[in-house]
Amino acid sequence: MIESWRWYGEFDTISLQEVAQTGARGIVTALHEIPYGEIWPQAAIETRKAQVEAAGFDWVVVESLPIHERIKRGEGDLTQLFANYRQSMVNLAAAGVHTICYNFMPLLDWTRTDLNAPVAGGATCLRFEAVKMAAFEIHMLKRAGAEADYSQDVCRRAAVWYQQADDSRREALLASIMAGMPGAFDRYDVAGLREALQAYAGIDRTVLRANYNRFLQEVGPTADDLGMRLCVHQDDPPRDILGLPRIVSSGEDLDWVLNAYDSPSNGVTLCAGSLGANPINDVPAIAARVAERIHFVHLRNVRKDPDGAFEEATHLDDDTDMVALIRVILAEEARRRAEGRLDHNIPFRPDHGHHMLSDLGRDLIPGYPLIGRLRGLAELRGVIRALSS
């Protein structure tokens, strides 16, 4: 397994020199400064690659080459947007970067209600609080029908939270929900989010799947021709939110994705945390089910509450059996080696992490601290070494 590290380029206050001290060998990054839908220029890609390599790393995965919202909505003439996406793929391949992680989540990427939830020992973590999300949807956003998406108990507690929260707490909740869009150019206030959601009116699970299928048919042949690997990230959280459908949340969803464009180039970013946030998902079993098409892995763990809340745990603790999951990945690597494949090693990164120690005083991207991820990488490295022995 290739030890990798997500780095946000000029948006990241963690330097590549600091990342080098973690022992990671690969960098996972993107051109976050380029607006969604525009072509990634060859020169910009080469500049980023040279920057990564000068620090002693390989650029192993693009995370992400974003999909424009109009493609997700199937809105209007999409010819130029698809052409731009394909050209960015061509430019990346020319630079020797062949793995692209992306997602098909409508409007928002990962969603949390708390960016600094306390954990034992004084550290903090990312948390999705069902009660706060319900309070936001029902009382702040005033989304019609939102009550039906939550239990009566959660709705009751959400009303209490909203009544007791002052403006600063409500603003902090909105900011937390918006924070899961690193590198994006849109940030919404409540009125703006309400307006943005209107663009998705009438788009249900069936329509969103059809739009996703069109994307795969448009870019899949280019990936085949270039020898590229497209790998979809699961929804985070793996449930409908804000009235928007989520269609990459389970093993059955991944089966649909892989069958929609049945090619080795169409694969999966196996995210243990995203899948693990849904109690019905057996993450090691899902990994075994799609193992042949796993191109990239995010390893993190979550602790779930009965009401639908969850928070980031340390990497080896709580609800997902990380040892069992890594065993599945190592077995797939062994299978690929036995086939004689040169690309048998699968890149992974320690995903998210607790903000702890000196990171608590740094201006860091939420969920992406230095020390918390270093701890996770060290723990995962130990599991991998032991299972490989």
Q: 42-54 vs 79-94: helix axis angle to the nearest 10? A: 40
Mean pLDDT value across the chain? 96
If you compute the radius of gyration of the chain from its CA atoms, what whole number of angstroms results?
20
**Catalytic annotation present for 351:** yes
Query: Are 164 and 191 in the same domain?
Result: yes
Domain limit, last residue, from 198, 219, 243: 198
Q: What are the tokens at 232?
A: 């979809």
Domain count, the chain: 2
Residue 160, H or E segment: helix 152-164
CA angle 333, 278, 199 (to 5 degrees): 105
Dist. CA 264–CA 255, nearest whole Å: 13
Query: Are 268 and 352 in the same domain?
Result: yes
Active-site residue, selected from the candidate residues 233, 315, 354, 355 = 233
Query: Are 278 and 168 in the same domain?
Result: no
**Catalytic annotation present for 162:** no
Query: Are 376 and 250 in the same domain?
Result: yes
Query: Are 252 and 179 in the same domain?
Result: no
Query: Are 104 and 155 in the same domain?
Result: no
Query: Are 67 and 134 in the same domain?
Result: no
pLDDT (tens digit, 9 = 90+) per residue, 286-323? 999 999 999 999 999 999 999 999 999 999 998 999 99
Active-site residue, selected from the candidate residues 298, 315, 354, 355 = 298
**Catalytic annotation present for 271:** yes
**Catalytic annotation present for 352:** yes
pLDDT (tens digit, 9 = 90+) per residue, 264-288? 999 999 999 999 999 999 999 999 9
- pLDDT at res. 182: 44
Q: CB of 229 within 8 A of CB of 102?
A: no
- pLDDT at res. 187: 72
Nearest to 254 by CA among 276, 273, 275, 237: 275
Domain limit, last residue, from 198, 216, 241: 198
Domain limit, last residue, from 152, 167, 198: 198
Domain encompassing residue 166: 114-198
**Catalytic annotation present for 101:** no
Query: Are 303 and 227 in the same domain?
Result: yes
Q: CB of 300 within 8 A of CB of 376?
A: yes
pLDDT (tens digit, 9 = 90+) per residue, 72-131? 999 999 999 999 999 999 999 999 999 999 999 998 888 999 999 999 899 999 999 999
pLDDT level of residue 195 (50, 70, 90 thresholds) = very high
Is 251's pLDDT higher than 80? yes
Active-site residue, selected from the candidate residues 162, 351, 354, 359 = 351
Active-site residue, selected from the candidate residues 149, 162, 271, 315 = 271
Query: Are 38 and 122 in the same domain?
Result: no
Is 183's pLDDT higher than 60? no
pLDDT (tens digit, 9 = 90+) per residue, 321-377? 999 999 999 999 999 999 999 999 999 999 999 999 999 989 999 999 999 999 999
**Catalytic annotation present for 233:** yes
- pLDDT at res. 188: 84
CATH at 60: 3.20.20.150
Mean pLDDT, residues 120-148: 96
Percent residues over pLDDT 90 in the chain: 94
- In terms of DSSP bridges, do strands 124-128 and 114-118 run parallel, antiparallel, or are they unpaired? antiparallel
Query: Are 120 and 168 in the same domain?
Result: yes
Q: 170 vs 84, 135, 337, 346, CA distance in Å?
A: 39, 9, 52, 42
- pLDDT at res. 181: 57
